[in-house]
């Protein structure tokens, strides 16, 4: 427990001081990207990891929040109005998305989310009067909360960090809560949960809403970061990418999506500067993860760690103590 606390303190210090020791604005921007993609991955992880409901349409929801922000600003509203509207519109979109998709679970759920995600992509591409079609929407400027302009990459980093910390804290509380336990129960034994008195559909619906909130928040950060949104950000590849972040890091763990987002963003934006075929490299890494640690990097590393140091799980240790004469 103290080791965990120490790791948390170290992580907090590293994240807070990052702009001071990280050389170059470019890398600070990469760090911001990691943070908001991590929030996106955490959002997908709520349903894919803890709920067992794999969505292949999440980039659509991410895009809806981004477009809502850009469009609200384009027609002349303030940043506050844009952010509030984007979050609420994102949640409403998620609610509709959930009502449609939760008619099924398993492969059925995947297929419906895929279809809905493609519809959203199609709308972004074709509804030119609102989305600008292929040209997307350009934005000018970032908000200035309390007089601090987020136009500086450093300030934007801290804004992303704040959202990230709130997201991680919310997830930590959620997974320990009764509702979190119920959600994991519906993933493992939906029939049994129903017979025990749980409303399986409603639990999944609430999980989708939490997922939608985190996804929308990351979509807003994304559009403020890029100052631009186009249909490319919500195509199937984008949905698959965030799903790969969740799975490669470890679905159904708190740390997994963060590690997965770091991996994907670092390979995409940093390693791609050195290796032209970075896509190939990313693919090779995923294959390696699937072969060596099918459960994901975080649980996989924990398993290898236990194996290397021969640490017996606490329950087994307790058994031994019990058997001792």
Partner 1 sequence: MNALTVTGLNKSFGGLHVTRSVDLNIEPGERRLIIGPNGAGKTTLFNLITGELTPDSGTIELHGQDITRSPSRNRAHLGMARTYQIITLFGQDTIIHNVRLALLGLSPQRWNPLIDLKRQSGFTEQGQKALELVGLGHIADRPLAQTSYGERRRVEIAMALAQQPKVLLLDEPFAGLSIDERRDVHQCLMAIPRDVTIVMIEHNMDVALEFAERITLLHFGEVIVEGNRAEVVNDPRTREVYLGH
Residue 181's nearest CA partner among 212, 201, 207 is: 207
Residue number, 128 or 318, with CB nearest to partner 1? 318
Give all strands (DSSP E) within 136-274, no chain letters: 137-138, 228-229
Instruction: Please identify which residue in the block is written with the tokens 């087994």.
Output: 316
Kindly indicate which of the ranges 32-40, 56-64, 157-165, 316-324 contains the residues binding partner 1, using the contact rule CB under 8 A. 316-324
Neighbours of 165 (CB within 10 A): 15
- The minimum distance between CB 51 and partner 1, in angstroms, equals 13
Q: Which two tokens stand for residue 268?
A: 């995409």
Instruction: Give the DSSP letter of residue 52.
Output: -
- What gap in Å lies between CA 155 and CA 160, rounded to an integer? 9
Cα–Cα–Cα angle for 43, 47, 50, nearest 5°?
105
Taking CB under 8 A as the criterion, the residue among 24, 147, 313, 325 binding partner 1 is 313
Of residues 135, 177, 237, 312, which one binds partner 1 by CB under 8 A? 177
189 binds partner 1 (CB under 8 A): yes
DSSP of 2-36 = HHHHHHHHHHHHHHHHHHHHS-SHHHHHHHHHHHH
Name which position in 191, 274, 291, 323 contacts partner 1 (CB under 8 A).
Answer: 191
Among 140, 176, 310, 320, contact with partner 1 (rule: CB under 8 A): 176
322 lines the binding site for partner 1 (CB under 8 A): yes
Is residue 325 within the footprint of partner 1 (CB under 8 A)? no
Pick from 1, 75, 195, 291 the residue near partner 1 by CB under 8 A. Answer: 195
Residue 173 touching partner 1 (CB under 8 A): yes
DSSP bridge partners of 229 = 137
Can residue 197 be called a binding residue for partner 1 (CB under 8 A)? yes
Residues that bind partner 1 (CB under 8 A): 173-174, 176-182, 184-185, 188-189, 191-200, 206, 210, 313, 315-316, 318-319, 322
């Amino acid at each position: 427990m103290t080791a965990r606390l120490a790791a948390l303190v170290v992580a907090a210090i590293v994240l807070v001081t990052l702009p001071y020791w990280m050389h170059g604005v470019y890398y600070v921007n990469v760090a911001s990207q990691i943070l908001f993609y991590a929030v996106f991955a955490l959002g997908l992880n709520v349903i894919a990891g803890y709920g067992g409901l794999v969505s292949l349409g999440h980039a659509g929801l991410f895009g809806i929040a981004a477009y809502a922000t850009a469009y609200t600003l384009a027609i002349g509203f303030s940043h506050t109005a844009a952010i509030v509207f984007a979050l609420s519109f994102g949640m409403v979109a998620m609610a509709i998305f959930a009502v449609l998709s939760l008619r099924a679970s398993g492969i059925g759920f995947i297929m419906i989310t895929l279809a809905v995600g493609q519809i959203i992509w199609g709308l972004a591409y074709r509804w030119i009067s609102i989305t600008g079609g292929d040209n997307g929407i350009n934005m000018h400027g970032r908000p200035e909360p309390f007089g601090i302009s987020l136009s500086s990459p450093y300030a934007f980093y801290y804004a992303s960090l704040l959202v990230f910390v709130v997201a991680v804290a919310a997830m930590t509380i959620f997974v320990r809560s009764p509702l979190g336990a119920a959600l994991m129960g519906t993933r493992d034994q939906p029939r049994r949960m129903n017979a025990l008195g749980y409303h399986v559909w409603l639990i999944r619906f609430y999980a989708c809403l939490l997922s939608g909130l985190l996804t929308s928040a990351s979509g807003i950060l994304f559009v403020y970061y890029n100052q631009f949104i186009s249909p490319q950000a919500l195509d199937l590849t984008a949905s698959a990418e965030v799903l790969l972040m969740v799975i490669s890091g470890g679905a159904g763990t708190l740390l997994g999506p963060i590690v997965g987002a770091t991996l994907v963003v670092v390979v995409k934006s940093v390693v791609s500067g050195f290796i032209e075929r970075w896509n190939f490299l990313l693919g090779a890494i995923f294959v390696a993860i699937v072969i060596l640690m099918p459960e994901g990097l975080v649980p996989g590393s924990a398993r290898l760690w236990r194996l290397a140091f021969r640490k017996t799980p606490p329950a087994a240790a307790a058994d031994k103590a019990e058997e001792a004469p």
